[in-house]
Structure 1
């Protein structure tokens, strides 16, 4: 059990104040609603959406204010909701590799069956056509009228084949045009300030579709023209698709776990920065007095380098 006199909420609040962050600043960076941040600082965990979000939000809060999220959760585990609740177990199972593997096998079998259905249908059609031709040929030897019917059927089949070929060529041209448009598009970095980066997308396609995929649980939000188009926590492997207005001139993405997140716009991969930021722990001295005796401990300053987790990215379309 933790020997700290402070609660986990007080520890986080002190770290936030030391960083010079307000609750509004923290809400903007983490995309965690302000009322949940207040509930965490006050220790009112029952006000959060569920037991799973208590630990997830605390970890994200801690990392944003420069603390080690995992270490803080272990240190104050006695103050947090149990990880054995059914709601927490269900959430964790969503990210369980064996669960995902089993689901993937089911999906693969379903996809395989779906791929085979058109093939089977095509074989049946071909067999039916061959039988029809054979019957028509047999009857042609008995009547010239039947022979003409066979000729008409052949013309009809040829016409259908020609239409199918034309349709396939049209679809191929559209796919080629879309591929060329995506290949012409490119990103160039305009500026980087702290965790905020601005890019320009040259030759942006008319249809601007943002696709976001994470390899680990991550909080994500998408905003365009001052309107929030999506915000929430994505689970590993899930793809979130957001369609922008055709007249959109920019889009802003807040990524809570940027190193594990991949983003494409109009099929073009956004080059998310993997830059690192330095976090320094200052020298501190703590003293406690309980039975009349005084003890002091001091720790020397140390410097560590950690990968930037939270990034704010703005893409301007040209």
Structure 2
């Protein structure tokens, strides 16, 4: 417990609030010289007793002090008993986190170890089991895999040969079938058109070279002229004793017939109908177009 004057209490409280005189003047609207006078207990510097009490009240309220206590001490001119707060800054020392010691640190370490011990043991046992199983698998691995692979290879080879053997007769039979069923040549397509003494024969699907066969009935003789053929001299007189066959050498051949009565004419193996000739005893022409 300490005793201080009114002015000392005011000054200490302002310092405690870290307030300057200018700040106190702005806060209380009291001129700074009067504030200084109050803090020095120099009441004669103030205009009068009324102003002393008024300024004292206003200043005390702004500093959060007990005005009644202050004004009583002023009137009685007595000091004020003040309970001072001990200064702890002298005994305070900052302790770094690294320097702090937990009283229960050893106890906590023991608890942590007891907590993790079962986990460590279980992990160790699991690792040993895995290692044991792996070792057993490696040691018991069959060594005859090469023989099995060889047997599989031989079996596969035998199957391949058997398959090839069974395929050969099939291929042979298929070949024989294809040979026996060779496509037949298309049938000859010969059309004859025209009238009077001139006919036109259109020849299709007749094997090349195209041949024309000519013959006559008994006792009949017919003069024949032919272009684009291998007929000697390009003409011949047919009799029943001298039939002839000529090979066409071009795509168009013109036959000049002395008459068609008693005449037989074939292109390839196909007989040609000459009945449409108007006058069989008169000369006629047959134009052969090979397509």
Is TM (by shorter chain) over 0.5?
no
Task: Select the structure that is richer in strand.
Answer: 1
Structure exhibiting the larger radius of gyration computed from Cα positions: 2
- TM-score between both structures, scaled by the size of structure 2: 0.33
- TM-score between both structures, scaled by the size of structure 1: 0.30
